[in-house]
């Protein structure tokens, strides 16, 4: 594990609180996708990048990868780290910690390399639906001694990287005064509040356009996701013909019934994988899959990696 000097440290610059309103996870994900494709967000991301020369992204709260990788203005050092063994364990840990720290308000985490990662929450009411994330700057000037400690730590962790390239990129780190960086984060807070208002408007529109049949179907699927559930079972539960229900469900959700059910089950499985005492096979059957092979195939298709690989990458399992 990193020593005290290299340990991940939390700096909370701002916070806010308020009332909690319920938003389904699938609904929150859809709202965030709509926000990320909106003209107002894309214009803001471009303007923020030009004004600050910092990367910016809009990401869901449960992401487990390098959120800023591939974004414009990404720090070359972070880019090199992100390409090392599907991002190093320390980077994944930072992503987890900044997300956890920012659930109550904008927060900044300083990673083992001394770079800031900042997340600003976006909510409907007080329920988190995503983060604006920026950072990859330093509040202190890089030094040779600091890089030597970073390089030594990477070697100890067994991370294979081109240390010469890392060194070159590390000494090109942008350094900002704390007050200047706080002002940039505050700009994101203001924008996050505006995005929250837009997200709430979109949620109201979806609630008004979504038929009672589809809402009831979603509730039924959520309650019976671990059962041997079929399309006809759900159609019967909402007093609809299978053909009509199938057509309307796809039109409203954008997903076929089987795809929607799979995503609901996989989300539950991801939570269960946090428990190291549960075997993958146990989790597969517990969430409603009839075979481990099918579970592994669907999990990889949706998440991008196997259940075992996903579990091993979880920060709380990093040694």
For 83, 169, 170, 173, the CA distances from 166, given in Å and listed in that order, are 12, 5, 6, 11
High-pLDDT (> 70) share of the chain, %: 86
Averages of pLDDT over runs of 10 residues in the chain (319 residues) are: 34 33 67 88 94 93 80 91 70 86 92 94 85 95 93 84 89 94 95 89 69 89 92 93 90 86 93 92 94 94 90 63
Residue pair 141/175 in contact by the 8 Å Cβ criterion: yes
| pTM of the predicted model as reported, rounded to 2 decimal places | 0.63
For 109, 119, 267, the CA distances from 126, given in Å and listed in that order, are 22, 16, 22
Residue pair 229/221 in contact by the 8 Å Cβ criterion: yes
User: According to the model, what pLDDT value does residue 21 have?
Assistant: 45
Residue pair 130/58 in contact by the 8 Å Cβ criterion: yes
- According to CATH, the topology of domain 211-317 is Arc Repressor Mutant, subunit A (1.10.10)
User: According to the model, what pLDDT value does residue 207 have?
Assistant: 62
User: According to the model, what pLDDT value does residue 319 have?
Assistant: 36
Where do the domains of the chain lie? 9-206, 211-317
Q: Closest Cα to residue 28, out of 291, 267, 287, 282?
A: 267
């Amino acid at each position: 594990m990193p020593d005290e000097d290299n340990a991940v440290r939390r700096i909370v610059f701002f916070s806010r609180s308020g009332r909690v309103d319920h938003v389904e996870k699938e609904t929150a994900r859809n709202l965030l996708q709509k926000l990320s494709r909106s003209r107002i967000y894309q214009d803001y991301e471009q303007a923020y990048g030009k004004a600050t020369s910092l990367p910016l992204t809009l990401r869901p709260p449960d992401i487990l990868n390098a959120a800023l990788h591939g974004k414009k203005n990404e720090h070359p050092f972070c880019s090199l780290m992100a390409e090392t063994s599907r991002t190093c364990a320390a980077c994944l840990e930072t992503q987890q910690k900044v997300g956890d720290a920012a659930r109550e308000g904008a927060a900044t985490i300083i990673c083992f390399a001394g770079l800031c990662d900042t997340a600003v929450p976006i909510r409907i009411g007080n329920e988190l639906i995503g983060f604006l994330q920026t950072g990859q700057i330093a509040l202190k000037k890089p030094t040779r001694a600091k890089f030597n400690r970073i390089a030594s730590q990477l070697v100890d962790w067994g991370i294979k990287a081109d240390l010469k390239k890392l060194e070159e990129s590390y000494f090109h780190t942008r350094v900002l005064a704390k007050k200047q960086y706080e002002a940039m984060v505050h700009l994101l807070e203001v924008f996050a509040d505006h995005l929250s208002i837009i997200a709430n408007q979109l949620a109201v529109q979806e609630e008004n356009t979504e038929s009672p049949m589809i809402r009831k179907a979603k509730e039924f699927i959520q309650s019976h996701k671990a059962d041997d559930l079929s399309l006809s079972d759900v159609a019967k539960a909402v007093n609809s013909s299978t053909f009509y229900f199938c057509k309307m469900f796809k039109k409203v959700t954008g997903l076929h019934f089987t795809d929607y059910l799979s995503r609901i089950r996989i989300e539950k499985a991801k939570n269960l994988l946090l428990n190291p005492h549960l075997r993958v096979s146990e989790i597969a059957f517990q969430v409603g899959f009839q075979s481990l092979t099918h579970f592994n195939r669907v999990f990889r298709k949706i998440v991008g990696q196997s259940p075992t690989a996903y579990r091993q990458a979880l920060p709380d399992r990093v040694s």
